[in-house]
Amino acid sequence: MVNETLTEPQLRSRSFRLNKCQEPKNSCEPFSFGGHLDPPLGLRPHSIRPFAIQSSILGDRLAPEREIATPSQRRRSCMQALFIGVSVFVVVSAGAFVGWIVGQRLPHQVTDEIKGLVTISTAVVATVSALSLGLLLSTANTAFTARGNNVTQISAELIRLDRMLRWYGADADAARETLRHYAECKATDLFPEKPEDPVRVDNPATYELLFRVEEMLLSLHPAGPREQWLVGQAITLAGDIGNARWLLVQQEGQGIPGALVALVTFWLTLLFVSFGLFAPRKLMAALVLVLCALAVSGAVGLILDLEDPYTGLVRISPVPMRTAVEALKQQVVMPTTLETGASIPENCP
């Protein structure tokens, strides 16, 4: 087979014809000619590449859209964490009362050696359980904090990129408008205003807007070193926004294995059975065991809830993204040049 070589306009024409039937469903789903991967630097206007390389690029951009969780699936995920936490509480509490019942049937002449053996064994299980719960909680909190930092990074870089484009001048107004549209759609994807709307971390239509911003930045024609520096900084910021977006996408679905949760639950149940064996047969002792079971089961439920930082009981704050959207809507006049000899104020206004 003879390798075919196509120019960039021909490739774009082919890609557009393949996706011409796609209709936008809402304001955040414009026409697109592909999927949602970062465009390589070589795929730019006036560039010619072998068709074998270009076809692989288009194949990635025309990849099928990743399945997005529906609102019912999101609610099911939130309820699943609550259900598992309640289940752990029931199982651990039942273990404590089973130990209490078994303790009543033990002979009254239980030697100190047996009590010492139970105490030492319980200490080993308690240590392993405490270390495991602490490690799981630390891991879940680290992942939750990392996603929150990624959202904050995106919002800060959006504001910085908008300032760069404002400073560049009127030639970058179209890119600024597309960037504002991207910020609004991204905020809606991550933090929908209506509870029934889905959370779309991986929305190809929204990412296509960022790709358009990058294309507009590359189409600018800097007139001097100042404009060249601004364009370079803007392209770097746009790439950083894309990287942070992909970090959020790749972190989806990285949860704690269910087998590990089941193993920790078994350790906790065994621990509470040993507590009930020699616990005094009084109401205060039963109340203490129930409260302790509620505490450890709440920790397990919290660990599972932190895996879904957008719809769980503990959520990432939407304030940074909404602040960025409001900042991009503001009409701020940026200085184009600094006159020679102009005085610089010593104090802030």
pLDDT in tens, 313-342: 888 889 999 999 999 888 655 554 444 344
What is the structure's pLDDT at 70?
Answer: 47
What is the structure's pLDDT at 109?
Answer: 63
Establish if 241 belongs to a structural domain: yes
DSSP 92-107: HHHHHHHHHHHHHHS-
Looking at the structure, tell me whether residues 128 and 238 fall in a common domain: yes
Q: Is there a contact between 99 and 275 (Cβ–Cβ < 8 Å)? A: yes
pLDDT beyond 60 at 29: no
Establish if 349 belongs to a structural domain: no
Amino acid 51 reads F
Residues of 172-209 as b/e, b for ≥16 C-beta within 10 angstroms?
beebbebbbbbbbbbbbbbbbeeeeebbbbbbbbbbbb
Q: Is there a contact between 84 and 300 (Cβ–Cβ < 8 Å)? A: yes
pLDDT beyond 60 at 8: no
Establish if 336 belongs to a structural domain: no
Looking at the structure, tell me whether residues 210 and 293 fall in a common domain: yes
What is the structure's pLDDT at 31?
Answer: 39
Average pLDDT over residues 292-314: 86
Higher-confidence residue: 243 or 310? 243
Which segment of 64-78, 160-174, 257-271 scores lowest on mean pLDDT?
64-78
d(CA 57, CA 33): 12
d(CA 293, CA 299): 10
Cβ partners under 8 Å of residue 135, min gap 6 = none
Cβ partners under 8 Å of residue 290, min gap 6 = 93, 96
Higher-confidence residue: 37 or 240? 240
H helix or E strand, kind and range, residue 7: strand 5-7
pLDDT beyond 50 at 42: no
pLDDT beyond 90 at 240: yes
> Binning pLDDT at 50, 70 and 90, where does residue 347 land?
low
What is the structure's pLDDT at 193?
Answer: 82
Q: Is there a contact between 238 and 214 (Cβ–Cβ < 8 Å)? A: yes
Domain that holds residue 279: 80-329
Establish if 184 belongs to a structural domain: yes
What is the structure's pLDDT at 108?
Answer: 66
DSSP type of residue 170? G
What tokens appear for 40 in the block?
């390589």
> Binning pLDDT at 50, 70 and 90, where does residue 174 land?
very high
pLDDT beyond 70 at 115: yes
Looking at the structure, tell me whether residues 169 and 220 fall in a common domain: yes
CA distances, 214 to each of 114, 209, 219, 232 (Å): 72, 9, 9, 11
Establish if 289 belongs to a structural domain: yes
Looking at the structure, tell me whether residues 33 and 93 fall in a common domain: no
Establish if 338 belongs to a structural domain: no
| Helices 258-277 and 112-168: angle between axes, nearest 10 degrees | 140
Looking at the structure, tell me whether residues 314 and 250 fall in a common domain: yes
Which segment of 105-114, 216-225, 258-267 scores lowest on mean pLDDT?
105-114
Mean pLDDT of the chain: 75
What is the structure's pLDDT at 79?
Answer: 72
d(CA 117, CA 111): 10
How much of the chain exceeds pLDDT 90, in percent?
28
Looking at the structure, tell me whether residues 135 and 280 fall in a common domain: yes
> Binning pLDDT at 50, 70 and 90, where does residue 180 land?
very high
What is the structure's pLDDT at 267?
Answer: 92
Higher-confidence residue: 106 or 257? 257
Which residue, 216, 223, 207, is CA-closest to 38?
A: 207
Average pLDDT over residues 235-254: 88
Which residue, 241, 256, 243, is CA-closest to 308?
A: 256
Looking at the structure, tell me whether residues 179 and 42 fall in a common domain: no
> Binning pLDDT at 50, 70 and 90, where does residue 28 land?
low
Residue ranges in the chain assigned as alpha helix (H): 8-18, 51-61, 71-105, 112-168, 173-190, 204-218, 225-250, 258-277, 283-305, 319-329
Which residue, 182, 180, 183, is CA-closest to 320?
A: 183
Higher-confidence residue: 255 or 263? 263
Which segment of 33-47, 105-119, 251-265, 286-300 scores lowest on mean pLDDT?
33-47
d(CA 9, CA 46): 8
What is the structure's pLDDT at 162?
Answer: 92
Establish if 10 belongs to a structural domain: no
Looking at the structure, tell me whether residues 92 and 32 fall in a common domain: no
Looking at the structure, tell me whether residues 44 and 116 fall in a common domain: no
What is the structure's pLDDT at 216?
Answer: 92
Looking at the structure, tell me whether residues 26 and 121 fall in a common domain: no
Looking at the structure, tell me whether residues 32 and 135 fall in a common domain: no
Looking at the structure, tell me whether residues 28 and 118 fall in a common domain: no
Q: Count Cβ atoms below 10 Å from residue 257 Cβ, excluding itself.
A: 8
Number of domains in the chain: 2
pLDDT beyond 60 at 41: no
Establish if 249 belongs to a structural domain: yes
CA atoms within 13 A on the CB side of 131: 6
pLDDT beyond 90 at 304: no
Distance from the Cα of residue 294 to its chain's centroid: 29
d(CA 313, CA 305): 7
What is the structure's pLDDT at 33?
Answer: 37
What tokens appear for 267 in the block?
């350790």
